[in-house]
A and B are shown apart, each in its own frame.
Chain A
C-alpha cells in the first residue's frame, strides 16, 4: 500500500516537474512562433491562433496568443492594419515591422544554435 502511494506521489512530482519545464519552454517559444507565423505576410489574430494550434504541445490555452500580439505591438515588433471583411466589420491584421524582422532573425539564429547544441548532446 505504502509502495503504491510512494509511486503515485513520485508520478505526481514527475508530472509537476514536466509541467513546469514545458510551461517555461512554451513561454519563449510562443513569441518566436507568433513572429514566424506572420513573417512575410499579414494575418488576422484568429488566423494566427489557428495556424499555431496545429503545432502539438505549443498552444495550451488559445487566448494566450492575443496578449502576446498586444505586447509585441507595444514593443514595436508588429503593426496592425484594418482590412475590410466579407464576414462582418473590418478586421485587424498583424504584420512584422522592420524592427520585428531584425528581432525575429536574431531569435531564429539563437534558437537554431540552441537546437544544434541540444542535438549534438543527444548524439544526433
Chain B
C-alpha cells in the first residue's frame, strides 16, 4: 500500500468514486475488476516516488489515466445520462440547444395556469411580470446563441427540433406586437378617442413607417427573425407600405365621406 497525503488520499477516493459511478451503468464491464486494475496501475506508477505521495504527483498519474467518463462505450449510456453528459461536456452547439429547449419547457411548466396558446402572447404576459417570460427569453437567447455558433445554419439537423420552438413562439409574439401595438390602446379604450376611425389612421401610418424602415434596411428583418426571414426582400416591405396606405385612404374616406 502506498502512503498518500490527506489531500492526495481525498483526491484518490474521489477519482475511484468517479470510476465506480461511471462503470456501474455498463453491463459489459466488471466495474470491480476495473477498479482493482486502476488501483494497481496507480500503485505501480507511484512506486519509487518519495512518500507520502503529494497531491500533484498523484494528479499527474490520474491525468494520464484520464476521465472515467471517457471509458464508457457510448452505446451503453442511457439516453437521459447522455443528455446530462452533453449538457456538462458536450459540443457547445448541442449544449446550447438542450439548454434552450429545457428553458422553453420550463416556461410552459411555470405557466401551467395559462392555456397553451397564451405563451404566444408573451408581450401581454410580460406586463404581468410572469416568470414564464423570463424562461422564454432565456430559451430564446440560448437558441440565438446556438444559431450564432453553428458552423452552418442550414444544416442544423436534429437541433432544429430543440431550437425552433422558442424562436417561433418569440417571433410570433413579436409579429403580433409589431403589427398590433398601435391599435391595442384603442381596443383597450386607453385613449378616449373622439373619432371611431382613428385606429385606421394610426395603424395605416405605422404600417407605412414600418414598410419604409424595412425597405431601407431589409437586413434588419433578416437579423431580427433569423433564420426564418432569409428570403426577405425589399419588395415585401412595399406590401406593408401599400397596406398602410390603403388603411390611411380608408380613414380619409370615412372622415370626409
Interface, chain A (partner B; CB < 8 A): 9, 13, 16, 45-46, 49, 60-64, 66-67, 69-71, 73-75, 87-88, 91-92
Contact = CB atoms under 8 A, between A and B. Distances in A.
Interface of B: 19, 23, 26, 28-30, 33-34, 36-38, 40-41, 43-45, 47, 64-68, 70-73, 91, 151
A74 B37 contact: no
Contact of B72 (A9, A60, A67, A75): A67
A61 B67 contact: yes
Nearest to B28: A71
A45 B40 CA distance: 9
Contacts of A46: 37, 40-41, 44-45
Contacts, number: 70
9 contacts: A9-B151, A49-B41, A61-B66, A63-B65, A66-B38, A67-B72, A70-B28, A71-B28, A75-B28
Contact of A64 (B36, B66, B151): B66
A62 B63 CA distance: 9
Contacts of A62: 41, 64-66
Nearest to B63: A61
A60 B63 CA distance: 10
Contact of B26 (A45, A66, A67, A92): A67
A25 to B, nearest CB: 15
B67 A70 contact: no
Contacts of A63: 19, 38, 41, 65-66, 68, 70-71
Contact of A67 (B44, B47, B71): B71
Most buried by A among B23, B34, B36, B45: B34
List of 4 A-B pairs having minimum Cβ-Cβ separation, nearest first: A61-B66, A63-B65, A66-B37, A45-B37
B23 to A, nearest CB: 7
Nearest to B68: A63
Contacts of A87: 47
Contacts of A60: 66, 70
A62 B37 CA distance: 11
A66 B26 CA distance: 13
Most buried by A among B47, B66, B67, B91: B66
A60 B66 CA distance: 8
Given A46-B41, A67-B72, A61 B28 contact: no
B66 A67 contact: no
Contacts of A92: 33, 36-37
